[in-house]
A and B are shown apart, each in its own frame.
Chain A
Amino acid sequence: MSETTAKTWMPSFHVLGPLLALIVLIILGASINSNFLSYGNVTNVLARSAFIGIIAVGMTFVITAGGIDLSVGSMAAFVAGVMILVMNALIPSIGVTVPVVLLGMLTALVAGFIAGWVNGVLIATVKIEAFIVTLGTMGIYRSLVTWLADGGTLSLDFDLRGLYRPVYYDGLLGVSWPIIVFALVAILGELAMRHLPFGRHCGAIGANEQVAKYSAINVQRTRIATYVLLGMLVGLATIMYVPRLGSASASTGVLWELEAIAAVIIGGTALKGGYGRVWGTVVGVLILSLIDNILNLASIVSPYLNGTIQGVIVILAVVLQRGKKTDG
C-alpha cells in the first residue's frame, strides 16, 4: 500500500512530462538563437509540423483503440499522386479553375477514406494483425505511387500550381492555412477524444476488447472508424502538402508513419492502447519539430544527428510511461 504516496505525484508528472519537455526546448532554443522566437521561425516550425500533426491526431485514435498504422506515409504519397493525376486530367475539360482544385481536394479525401477503410476492414473484419496489414499496405501504397509516376515524379500542372499555392503559403491574419487546419483538427480531435462516446469507446476497446463488446460497443465498426478517420486526415494533410512542392514521387512522405507514431507516444498515449490524449500528441509533434529546428539553428550538434535525438526521446518517453506502473 506504499504506492499511494507515489501515486499522488506520479500521474501529474506523467501528465505534465511532455509539456515540461516542450517548455525546456523552447527556453533552450531561445537561449541558443535570438531568431528562434521570431515570427518567421515560429510559423515555419508550426507549418512544417502541420502535416505530421494532422496525421498524428488520427494516429492517436488508432493507437488508443489498440491498433497501429504503419502505412500513413506511403498512403500520403499515394493520395498525393492520385490527387495530382486527377487534377491534371481535369484541366483539359474544366480548365485551370478553382473547381479543379476543389475536385482534387475531394479526391484526396475520398482516396484517404478508401485507403483507411481497406486497412480497417482487413484488421477489424478479416481480423489480421494491424501491424501485418499496415506493413503490407505500406508497401502497396508506396509501390502504387511509384508505378503511377512510372518511377519518376508526378508534377501538378504549372498553371494550376499557381492557383493552388495559397493553400500552403497564404493564411488568415498572418497565420498560414496549414497551421489553422492543424489547430482545428487538434481541437476537434481533443474534444472527440474526451467528450464524445467515440473517444471513450476507443479507450475501452484498447483497454479490453471483450469488456467493450459486452458493454454493447460495436467494436468492429469503431475500430474501422479509427482507420477511416486516420485515412481522411492523411488526405487532409496531403491537401495541405501538395501545393508546397506541387509534386509527388516515391520519396514523398517517407518515414512520416514513424514521426506520427513517435509524436503520439511522446505525448503520453499508451502504445498498447486503452488511453490516449490528443493534446499530448500535439505537444509530441511540436517537440519533434523543435528538436529539428534547434539543431538547424545551433551549430553545437550536427543536424544529421536529429534522428538520434528524436529516437532517444521516444525511448525515454516509453520508459517514463512504464515507470508509472512499476514503481515501489
Chain B
Amino acid sequence: MSDPILAIRNVSRSFGPVQVLFDVDFDLRAGEVHALIGENGAGKSTTMKILAGYQPPTSGDVLLDGKPVVFDDAQHAEAQGIVMIHQEFNLAQQLSVEENIFLGRELRRGPFLDHKAMQDESRRLLDRLNCPVDPRAKISDISVPNRQMVEIAKALGRDARVLIMDEPTAVLTARETDILLDLIDRLRAEGCAILYTSHKLDEIARIADRVTVLRDGHRVFEGPAKGMTQDAMAEAMVGRELSNLFKPKGKPQDQTVLEVRNLGVAGLVHDASFHLNKGEVLGFAGLVGSGRTELMEGVTGLRDATGTVTVHGKPLKPGSIRAAREAGLVYLTEDRKEKGLLLNKGLTENLTLLALHKFTHPWIDTAAEDRALTDAIAEFDIRAGDRNMKAGNLSGGNQQKLLLGKTMLADPDIVVIDEPTRGIDIGTKQQIYDFIVELAASGKSVVVISSELSEVIGLANRVMVMASGRIVGEVSGDDINERTIVKLAMGMTSKDDAA
C-alpha cells in the first residue's frame, strides 16, 4: 500500500460548545477512491472541509506527503493540488461557463484576458465529461446537472492530485452519473487520489476502493470496499436496526379527507390524482426533481395548478395558501432556511407568523404569543439557549422543530411535510418520526415527502411513487419496501433516458 498523499490524524473539531468530529483518521492515496459515508450531520462535510483547507481542525494533524501542514485557506490547499468539488450551487450565476471555470486564474495575453484560449480549454475539459454545454453560456441559463458538470470541469482544470467530491451525483441523472463514474475510473488510473461522498450506496459499491463510515462524528468503520454489501454500509452508518427508529404504524380510518384529481403544474406535474384518509401517513417517494414538491405546492395553493382539490368533501379555492390554511391543510417546506423561517428574526415572530390571525383581536396579543413559544418549546423540545435568540442561530434540528411548531400552531387537519428530516441529526430525526406517528394516531392526516427511502418505508401506510412529474405507482402493506419503490421510481427514468 502506497503512503497517503493527504491524511488527517486524530482530528477533532468543535463549533462553539458542539463537538462534531472526534479523533477521526482518514487517508487519501494516489490511485485510490476512498468513499466517506455517513448520515446527514455525521461529520462528512466537516472532514472534507478540513482536508481541503476550508477549516482548520480544533485538534489533530493534517498530513501532506507525510508531513504536518497547516493550510491557511482553501487557496493554499489548492496550490498544493488539493481541490474540492462543490455541489453545483457554488458557481457565479451571472458569469459564463468559461468565466467560472477560470475564475481566479484567468489566462491572459499581455494585460488582456485571453478568451479564446480559455474557451478552448473549457471546451476540452467539458468534452472529457461528455458535456455539450457552450463555454460562453451563462450559468443561470444551463440545467442543474450541467452546472454540476461545470463545477467538476472547474476542478479538473486545476490539475489536482487530490480531488474531494461532495455528493457530485446528487443532481445528476443515471446516465450523467455513469459518465462521471467512468471519469473517476480514468482519474484513478492517472494516479489521482479521490475522496468520494454520496448517499447513493450503489455508487459507492461500484466506485470505491476503501470505505470510511462516520457516525455522530466518530469513525466507526474503515476498510476495503470489496465484499462490503450496501446493507452492511447502511447498518454501519445508522448503527442499529433501521426498524428501531420508527414506532409501529397506526391504522388509518376509512374516511377520505383530501382528494386530488388530475392535478397539473405547468411543465412539472402531470395529471396527478390521489387521496388521503383520516389518520393516515401517506408517503411520496421519487427521485429529486420528480415533481413531488411541485405537486404538493400545487395542492396547497403555493403554485398555479389545474385540476381539483377537495378537502373534507368541499372543493378548495385554487391558488390560495390562505384558503388551504383555513380548510385545515398546511404545507411544511423542505427549505427551512429560505422558505420556512425568518433567520434574522426571533423565535416568537417565526412561530406565530402562519397563525398570526389567532393572536390578533384586533391587536397582536404578545403575551399570548409568548405563552405559545413556551408551549412549543415544551411540546417540540426546542433547545434554544435563549428565548430571545434569532431563529438562524438555532441548530438545524431545532430550526426544524420550530418550523413544525409554527405549522402546527395553525391547527391543521392535514399536514404535508416535505423532507421532514433533511440535514438534521439522528436523535432529532427520531423525535420527528415519533411526532408524525402520534399526529396520525390523533386523527390528523399526514403526507410525507422524502428522498430518504427508509423514512417513507418506516412511516407511511401507503406510498405514492413519482417519476418525471407523474404518479407512477402506489404501494401499500408489505409492498412498501426499497426494491418495489426504487423499481417504480427508476422505471420511468430509464425510459426517459432512452428517449
**A interface list, Cβ under 8 A from B:** 1, 191, 195-197, 200-201, 203-204, 207-208, 210-218, 274-275
B363/A195 in contact, CB under 8 A = yes
Q: Which of chain A's residues has its CB closest to B342's CB?
A: A207
Q: Which of chain A's residues has its CB closest to B17's CB?
A: A1
Asked if B325 lies at the interface with its beta carbon under 8 angstroms from chain A, I say yes
A201–B345 Cα gap in the complex (Å)? 12
Q: Which of B160-168, B253-261, B351-359 contacts A (4 or more CB under 8 A)?
A: B351-359
8 contacts between A and B (CB under 8 A): A195-B366, A196-B362, A196-B363, A204-B353, A210-B338, A211-B341, A214-B331, A216-B410
A214/B16 in contact, CB under 8 A = no
When each residue 360-399 of chain B gets 1 if its CB lies under 8 Å from chain A and 0 otherwise, what string results?
Answer: 1011101000000000000000000000000000000000
When each residue 130-152 of chain B gets 1 if its CB lies under 8 Å from chain A and 0 otherwise, what string results?
Answer: 00000000000000000000000
Interface contacts beyond A274-B342, A274-B344, A274-B345: sample of 14 additional A-B pairs, CB < 8 Å, sorted by A: A1-B16, A195-B366, A196-B363, A197-B357, A197-B360, A203-B345, A204-B349, A208-B339, A208-B343, A211-B353, A213-B302, A215-B406, A216-B322, A216-B410
Q: Which of chain A's residues has its CB closest to B354's CB?
A: A215
| Residues of A with C-beta under 8 A to B364 | 195-197, 200
Q: How far is the CB of A151 from chain B (nearest CB, A)?
A: 44
A218–B321 Cα gap in the complex (Å)? 9
A213–B340 Cα gap in the complex (Å)? 9
B342/A208 in contact, CB under 8 A = yes
Q: Which of chain A's residues has its CB closest to B323's CB?
A: A216
| Residues of B with C-beta under 8 A to A208 | 338-339, 342-343
B342/A214 in contact, CB under 8 A = no
Q: How far is the CB of B341 from chain A (nearest CB, A)?
A: 6
A195, A211, A218 — most chain B CB neighbours (10 Å) = A211
B17, B302, B345, B366 — most chain A CB neighbours (10 Å) = B345
A214-B322 contact in complex given A196-B362, A200-B353, A200-B356, C-beta closer than 8 Å: no
**B interface list, Cβ under 8 A from A:** 16-17, 302, 321-322, 324-325, 331, 333, 338-345, 349, 353-354, 356-357, 360, 362-364, 366, 406, 410
* 9 closest residue pairs by CB, A with B: A195-B363, A215-B353, A215-B354, A207-B342, A210-B339, A1-B16, A214-B339, A216-B321, A216-B325
| Residues of B with C-beta under 8 A to A197 | 356-357, 360, 364
A200/B363 in contact, CB under 8 A = no
| Residues of A with C-beta under 8 A to B338 | 208, 210-211
Q: How far is the CB of B355 from chain A (nearest CB, A)?
A: 9
Q: How far is the CB of B20 from chain A (nearest CB, A)?
A: 15
Q: Which of chain A's residues has its CB closest to B366's CB?
A: A195
A213–B363 Cα gap in the complex (Å)? 22
B324, B344, B406 — most chain A CB neighbours (10 Å) = B344
A211-B363 contact in complex given A200-B349, A200-B353, C-beta closer than 8 Å: no
A201, A208, A217 — most chain B CB neighbours (10 Å) = A208
B345/A216 in contact, CB under 8 A = no
B339/A211 in contact, CB under 8 A = yes
A142–B284 Cα gap in the complex (Å)? 57
| Residues of B with C-beta under 8 A to A214 | 302, 321, 331, 333, 339-340
B331, B343, B364, B410 — most chain A CB neighbours (10 Å) = B364
Q: How far is the CB of A193 from chain B (nearest CB, A)?
A: 11
A275–B342 Cα gap in the complex (Å)? 11
A207/B345 in contact, CB under 8 A = yes
| Residues of A with C-beta under 8 A to B360 | 196-197
A217–B342 Cα gap in the complex (Å)? 13
A191, A197, A201 — most chain B CB neighbours (10 Å) = A197
| Residues of A with C-beta under 8 A to B343 | 208
Q: How far is the CB of B348 from chain A (nearest CB, A)?
A: 11
